[in-house]
Structure 1
Amino acid sequence: MKNKVTLLNMISGLILQFFTLISGFILPKIILTCFGSEVNGLVSSLNQFLSYITLVEGGITGVIVANLYKPIVEQDNNKISSVLVTADRFYKKIGALFIAYSVILSIIYPLHFKTEFTFSYVCSLTLILSLTLLIQYMYSLTLRTLLNADKKGYVVNFTQTLIVIFNVLFALISVFIYPSIHVLKLISGSLFLLQPLIFNRYVKKNYKIDWKVEPDNSLIKSRWNGFAINLAAFIHNSTDVTVLTFLANLKTVSIYSVYSLVSSGIKQMINACLSGIAHTVGQAYAKKNWKELNQKLDIYEYIVLILVFFLFTVTALLITPFVQLYTKDIVDTDYNQPLFGFLLVLAEALYLIKLPHLNLAYSANKFKEITVPAYIEAMLNIMISVALVKWIGLIGVTIGTIVGMTYRMVFHVYYTSKIVPGRAQCIFYRKLFLFAAGAGGGFVFCYKLLPLQTVTVGSWIVHAIFYCVVMGAILLAISILFFQNEMKFFWKYVKRK
């Protein structure tokens, strides 16, 4: 049953990411077509600045999840209640602070950054965009954290899928009736009210939470152990847009955001596939079952590398032609940036490759021990991005991300070998080398044998099928030759009742 739940989490996550990916292409296309690149860049930039509030969280979500694993396994309702009360009070404080931050940002942004829009236009749009995060901090995040820690991520995923579908439908209706970016985003933010309604109903029915117990304030103190990790993740997701906002212009931000639609969509799809495995590894560590943990790390690494090298190699070949098709009617800026597209895909691939080791450190509650490397990664990313953006623009900020991600990957593979008995670093690097060699060979073969030169929808689809077949055959051959144990274990894991 536990394995079926894990599979359900993965399937529901894939369904969510499928609809999110579709939505991620439809909504920006609506904005680009109806309102232009400048508005698209403005929305991306404002969302990035609003997300700065997550820094105040200081890593509490990771700490909360790590502290929920054991009481969930032991069915200690009192401890679960104490952790949740602590989290809920803290998140509501962040929500109150976020209100003040949003108001300040809505005033400062239009005064500091010169755009073609009026003060009232930017100010009101900022406040509307803040609704999504505000609702989550005030009403949703505590319950969502509990459901994810208890491997009930499918509840979260199906709820979010519903919101995504409604968001697209209402957006199409709104621009048809009254084309306004403010109305479109107000509808989007309001839909997030569905989250607390559904989560509350499910938790009341399936858990015995006492919201009157005393909070565990030690968790709030220990959140600073997770701050560096939270900061590093934030910088990975925000440095590029922030640097481009300050040192470039909103049209360049729009180019970045359009390419990021593809790379981020693939990244989130892979994350959805892996979400159930991550929490399974966390519970195996909580039980200190080293044999089981090593087996699950093996399969975790294998699945990550298969997914990353298959999807991201195909994406690297197709991302620029796709963007050319996607923006063919947009003539206010040049979206043909092939080298940037390739480097952005590489950066996101490096972020995902380290996930088994990063999530293990989270599950082991080793936030303090991995603080310094997280800060080093953040500093490398920022300094290199700022230093290069003036010279090589979009490519410069992506190089900063690649360097930071490479350093962090090497560290976490090393750290896993220190906290898991019998886990040698060469286990990971052997997998990485074999899959990287296969993917590199496949990329060159596809690019040289059948390059996509005349970009049409039909030719793009034909090339996509060809590239998928080639990469699938190469990675399958590598799996059969070198990873039969992982393939057998994965099949048994899925079938086991």
Structure 2
Amino acid sequence: MRIKSSLLNISAGLGNQIIITALSFISRTVFINSLGIEYLGINGLFTSILSMLTLAEAGIGSSIIYNLYKPVADNDRPKILALMQLYKKAYQIIAGVVLVLGLGLMPFLDLFIKETSVENISFIYVLFLINTAAPYLFVYKNSFLNVNQKNYIVTIVFSISAIISTCMKIAILYFTENYILYLTVESILSIITSIIVAYIVDKMYPFLREKIKRKLDPETKASFIKNMKAIILQNVGNYFIFGVDSILISSFVSIAAVGLYSNYKMLIDICRTFLNQVFTNTYHSLGNLVAKESAEAIYRIFKVTYLLNFWLYSLLSIMLYLMVEPFIDIWIGTEFKMTNIVLLILVIAFYERGMRNSLSAVKITAGIFHEDRFSPMFQAVINLGVSLIFVKFWGIAGIFAGSVISALMIPFWYTPWLVYKKVFHQPVGLYYRSYVYYTVIGAVTCLIATRVIKLIPSNTLLELIFQSVLCFILVNIIYVALFYRTAEFKYLLVVARSLLLKLPKVSTIYHKTIKRKRHMEVGGTK
């Protein structure tokens, strides 16, 4: 059941990602041509500023989702209702807090914007704020689908909404070049989509509308508050690690530089979102595994997901490093490129953060929130300190270097130590040995791919596609040659075969082949 649910979620997620990626390139191209790089910078800056106001949401969401796993598995409806009611009230408070704090930041917008010719900055900011706060009034029910491993429903609804929204926004930019109308349409459709998902959840699970018959027990409530506080602290730190780059660039360089960075960020985020569709949709299955299985079984599955984690993140890291610059040349022009050292640091940060993905999934699903609540805060202090020093010497590259250095100093060693001690009950040295082994393989593969790819020109889109396909095939051939004998690879192969057999056409052909083979064997015996 876990495999089937994960397959549905991953398939829906990947299909959504392909559609959204195609539309995002068209939208970004029209946006740049219609409004220019400064509007692109404003877009990235306000997104970063407002993400700071939503930190509490992730804390409450993660904590309640963790508490929902067991009652959902046990079909304990009274407890589910009590948790969902708590979730609803929490999100209503969050929506109000985000709105009030967002309005409170308005007088200080000039501090974040070094230079710009964009008009109606305050009104644009208010539209961003509404789009951030309003969906919280409805979105809490999404998580119930996630816990029930039906996230594909949310994905499908949001995919349809994104297609409609993107097409309308492209038309608005192309025909009117009106940024305010563009944002207004985005806000309205975002709210409507959240309402539709909430309605679907009510239809699928009518009991969620029943009156609460039981209050939360003190133990669950205390656990929720404890975990929520820990996750909020973590997210405050995470914001100052991942969320302030655009603000620092705008403050110390220019708003136009934020626009340049936003193109790189979009390409990297597409890769990250693509991989998250694979990994995030297995987290809820992993949560079920952590709740029921032994430490040995969890560790065995972790090693499998860790190999998959390395395989996919290193593959996309190599392709990003080799393909981003020629792609930007062909897509929007050389003037939109940053230096190669900036790209290298961004790719290293993408790889390092991605390699912690499987580990973080185990940590979250095992409910390890309180123990490392201060880690992101320490990392944030190091990140800001290093970034503020290095930006004076290296510019934008110095800001991104702070993220990498702070990650290596805190979560790189502390997160593995926690998970291996509390969940796996294994020496953490096993993790670092695998990490070094995998990273060396990835680095050598990158060097080989670089040598091969550089032999082929990339002056046209067709040549770049050929380079990408060649790089993809080359890296996978090397990895298959190195890992095909390992237990983890064999396990992944079995899972891949079982997933293929769940596809209707493949399954039908397989069973017909088996039936025909048995018939021939019987005939031969006679």
TM-score, reference length from structure 2: 0.87
Residues 138, 194 of structure 2: 8 Å contact kept: yes
SS at match of 1:117: coil
Structure 1 residue 438 corresponds to structure 2 residue 438 = no
Look up the match of 2:168: 170
Residues 228, 375 of structure 1: 8 Å contact kept: yes
Look up the match of 1:408: 411
Q: Which moved more, 1:199-208 or 1:287-296?
A: 287-296
Superposition map of 1:301-312 within 5 A: 301-312=306-317
Residues 46-91 of structure 1: CA distance to partner in whole angstroms, max 9, x if unpaired?
Answer: 1111111112437111111111111111111111111111111111
Look up the match of 1:380: 382
Residues 59, 235 of structure 2: 8 Å contact kept: yes
Superposition map of 1:97-176 within 5 A: 97-110=97-110, 113-117=113-117, 121-140=120-139, 142-176=140-174
Q: Which moved more, 1:178-187 or 1:483-492?
A: 483-492
Cα distance change on mapping 1:455 and 1:107 into 2, 3 Å? farther
SS at match of 2:368: coil
How far is 1:201 from its partner?
2.6
Residues 40, 254 of structure 1: 8 Å contact kept: yes
SS at match of 1:420: helix
Look up the match of 1:84: 84
Residues 206-243 of structure 1: CA distance to partner in whole angstroms, max 9, x if unpaired?
Answer: 22215643765543454112123222432343121121
Cα distance change on mapping 1:421 and 1:274 into 2, 3 Å? closer
In the aligned structure 1, how far is the partner of 2:30 from the partner of 2:71? 46
How far is 1:257 from its partner?
0.8
Residues 335-357 of structure 1: CA distance to partner in whole angstroms, max 9, x if unpaired?
Answer: 24222112111101211111111
Cα distance change on mapping 1:335 and 1:179 into 2, 3 Å? same
Look up the match of 2:65: 65
Look up the match of 1:464: 468
Q: Which moved more, 1:23-32 or 1:179-188?
A: 23-32
How far is 1:152 from its partner?
1.4
Look up the match of 2:340: 338
Cα distance change on mapping 1:297 and 1:238 into 2, 3 Å? same
In the aligned structure 1, how far is the partner of 2:282 from the partner of 2:176? 44
SS at match of 1:455: coil
Cα distance change on mapping 1:112 and 1:373 into 2, 3 Å? closer
Residues 9, 152 of structure 2: 8 Å contact kept: yes
Residues 124-161 of structure 1: CA distance to partner in whole angstroms, max 9, x if unpaired?
Answer: 11111223322321111x11122112211111111121
Structure 1 residue 358 corresponds to structure 2 residue 363 = no
In the aligned structure 2, how far is the partner of 1:19 from the partner of 1:233? 29
In the aligned structure 2, how far is the partner of 1:118 from the partner of 1:239? 21
Structure 1 residue 198 corresponds to structure 2 residue 201 = no
Residues 305, 358 of structure 2: 8 Å contact kept: yes
In the aligned structure 2, how far is the partner of 1:367 from the partner of 1:380? 21
Look up the match of 1:276: 281
In the aligned structure 1, how far is the partner of 2:67 from the partner of 2:166? 37
Q: Which moved more, 1:104-113 or 1:471-480?
A: 104-113
Look up the match of 1:238: 243
Residues 41, 254 of structure 1: 8 Å contact kept: yes
Amino acid at match of 2:121: V
Residues 110, 123 of structure 1: 8 Å contact kept: no
Q: Which moved more, 1:192-201 or 1:350-359?
A: 192-201
How far is 1:43 from its partner?
1.1
The partner residue of 1:389 within 380, 388, 391 is: 391
Look up the match of 1:261: 266
Residues 114, 254 of structure 2: 8 Å contact kept: no
Q: Which moved more, 1:71-80 or 1:275-284?
A: 275-284
Name structure 1 gaps, 5 residues minimum: none
In the aligned structure 1, how far is the partner of 2:491 from the partner of 2:250? 45
Amino acid at match of 1:156: V
How far is 1:294 from its partner?
2.2
SS at match of 2:198: helix
Structure 1 residue 319 corresponds to structure 2 residue 324 = yes
Look up the match of 1:24: 24
Residues 165-216 of structure 1: CA distance to partner in whole angstroms, max 9, x if unpaired?
Answer: 1122101221233211111121122111233333223222222215643765
In the aligned structure 1, how far is the partner of 2:298 from the partner of 2:202? 32
In the aligned structure 1, how far is the partner of 2:326 from the partner of 2:93? 45
Cα distance change on mapping 1:377 and 1:215 into 2, 3 Å? farther
Q: Which moved more, 1:80-89 or 1:53-62?
A: 53-62
In the aligned structure 1, how far is the partner of 2:360 from the partner of 2:156? 26
Cα distance change on mapping 1:231 and 1:492 into 2, 3 Å? farther
Residues 272-308 of structure 1: CA distance to partner in whole angstroms, max 9, x if unpaired?
Answer: 1112221111111112433432232122212111111
Residues 54, 98 of structure 2: 8 Å contact kept: no
How far is 1:97 from its partner?
2.0
Look up the match of 2:420: 417
Q: Which moved more, 1:433-442 or 1:63-72?
A: 433-442
In the aligned structure 2, how far is the partner of 1:420 from the partner of 1:50? 35
In the aligned structure 2, how far is the partner of 1:112 from the partner of 1:340? 22
Q: Which moved more, 1:263-272 or 1:216-225?
A: 216-225
Q: Percent identity?
A: 18
Amino acid at match of 1:419: K
Residues 74-115 of structure 1: CA distance to partner in whole angstroms, max 9, x if unpaired?
Answer: 111111111111111111111112222333334431476354
The partner residue of 1:399 within 395, 398, 401 is: 401
How far is 1:316 from its partner?
1.1
In the aligned structure 2, how far is the partner of 1:176 from the partner of 1:421? 55
Cα distance change on mapping 1:35 and 1:163 into 2, 3 Å? same
TM-score, reference length from structure 1: 0.92
Q: Which moved more, 1:100-109 or 1:46-55?
A: 100-109
Q: Which moved more, 1:425-434 or 1:309-318?
A: 425-434
Residues 300, 356 of structure 1: 8 Å contact kept: yes
Name structure 2 gaps, 5 residues minimum: 503-526
Structure 1 residue 300 corresponds to structure 2 residue 298 = no
- Give the total of aligned pairs: 492
Amino acid at match of 2:347: V
Cα distance change on mapping 1:493 and 1:418 into 2, 3 Å? farther
In the aligned structure 1, how far is the partner of 2:500 from the partner of 2:22? 31
Larger-Rg structure: 2
Amino acid at match of 2:146: N
In the aligned structure 2, how far is the partner of 1:215 from the partner of 1:94? 22
Residues 19, 164 of structure 1: 8 Å contact kept: no
